[in-house]
Amino acid sequence: MTGIATDAPLSLYNTLTRRTEPLVPGEPGHVRMYLCGVTVYDRAHVGHARTWVVFDALARFLEWRGFRVTYVRNVTDIDDRIIERSAQQGISAAELGDVMTRAMMEDSTALGCRAPDVEPRATAHIEEMIALIAKLEEKGLAYRSEGDVYFDVAAFPPYGKLSHRRIDDLRAGARVEVGEQKRHPEDFALWKGVKPGEPFWESPFGPGRPGWHIECSAMSTRYLGQPFDLHGGGEDLIFPHHENELAQSEGAVGDTFARHWMHISFLRIDEEKMSKSLGNFVTIRDAVTRYPAEALRLHLLQTHYRSPMEFAETGISEAQNGLVRMYETLARVGPGRAAAAGDTSADAERCLADFRDALADDFNTPRALAALHDAVRAANRLMDAGKAEEARAVAAALAEAAGIFGLLQGEPEKVLAAWGANRAEAAGIAPDEIEALIGKRAAARRAKDFREADAIRGRLAEAGIDLQDRPDGTTSWSLRR
């Protein structure tokens, strides 16, 4: 990819300040970013996929802009839900964690996401968690109670600054779970004393296991230092998870935890948030079996990350149709579509500039995708006008920009053939029959038998098959949805 200078600022909405602000790394030219990963008690769903795809694209964009990126995404492999699910299945929590971690990584790869630079597992960082809890205890921000250790929210006055909630309001709505011995209802567990049948680790506080929130504080700062540049996750994590992370991390160190906080809005099905607790989720494994991974990625990027989006089959079909048009354009330009050194056009430059500017403005993916569609129209217009060199430059810009979203990664002719065959098979139409009719129609057109050519096109249209015609012939076909 062509590197783009870092002089133009990248601005992102910061949950902490409630403003769109430039992302300014502490170390010039190096962005250190952390994404809260999944708790591996079950298969990941497409709500997780939205967050993964957005952050994968963000990391690629930053690199394209010329930044060095260190991207960390954790794995929570010890948790109440993991313990409960492993007991139901008659296996250890460690076994379930291993199986589901491998499944999560497979799902991420199937979506076309690159592996993060570091993907730490919570159970491999217990020592760091214990050390962080001990530091909080030394500073009077943590206390022991009946084998547990809690963070004392009242001892940290800035508590609530990320979620913009007041402690008094939190206290009114908080409740104490059975078996908890807290000073205040809003205090949260840093260490949980051992219970019969549960996995445990030895610690200065007694045998037990870490609380959920302390895990991310320990792992993020272990690999990125403190403060680091960007912390992200789904918006459901703002409170209490990220609020508690911020409190314990800043309380322990006395410095900023993360400079910038980025949160992805909910993915919905039938206007409800997708979640395992509601039972209305689609697993990533099922989704990539039913739909092309690139179509899923495009669908997930068609809505701005701060807006809720509806996961729908019609949306994925529209995304695939858009990809078909992009691949058709690359196929039409031909194997020489990579622009030669120095080849350019105003349309190519506009594509990259519009794409860059859209993403630099709070990572506006819908606007960036509009730049890709503009490039498709421009490349075809130039081909129609016989300006093949300029069209090649535009196609090269299209492929470069789409690659930042993990799109147009296949060979156009092969992708179009495979997608067409899959759709034809699903519709009960043999692809060979379609190709034979297209060949007959081409022969009829060459013989200027336009009545026969139109009749064949009509027969295909009745079967739900649309032909993509250009002056140089039929470039591809697709099944109408």
Q: Return d(Cα 136, Cα 152) in angstroms, integer.
A: 9
pLDDT at 116: 98
Per-residue pLDDT tens for 154-185?
A: 999 999 999 999 877 766 555 555 456 899 99
Give the burial class of 135: count Cβ atoms within 10 A of its Cβ; 0-12 exposed, 13-18 middle, 19 or more buried: middle
pLDDT at 3: 45
- Worst-scoring range by mean pLDDT, 23-27, 302-306, 369-373, 439-443? 439-443
Within 10 angstroms of residue 410's Cβ, the number of other Cβ atoms is 16
11-264 has which fold? Rossmann fold (3.40.50)
pTM: 0.87
Q: CB of 355 within 8 A of CB of 372?
A: yes
Q: Identical fold at 11-264 and 313-410?
A: no
Q: Is the pLDDT of residue 465 over 90?
A: no
Mean pLDDT computed over every residue of the chain: 90
Q: CB of 216 within 8 A of CB of 182?
A: no
Domain ranges of the chain: 11-264, 313-410, 419-479
Per-residue pLDDT tens for 320-333?
A: 999 999 999 999 99
Q: What percent of the chain has pLDDT over 70?
A: 87
Q: Is the pLDDT of residue 341 over 60?
A: no
CATH class of 313-410: mainly alpha
- Worst-scoring range by mean pLDDT, 104-118, 165-179, 312-326, 370-384? 165-179
pLDDT at 279: 65
Per-residue pLDDT tens for 141-155?
A: 999 999 999 999 999
What are the residues whose beta carbons fall under 8 Å from the beta carbon of 481, sequence distance 6 or more? 314, 317, 321
What's the rounded mean pLDDT across residues 356-363?
Answer: 98
Q: CB of 55 within 8 A of CB of 33?
A: yes
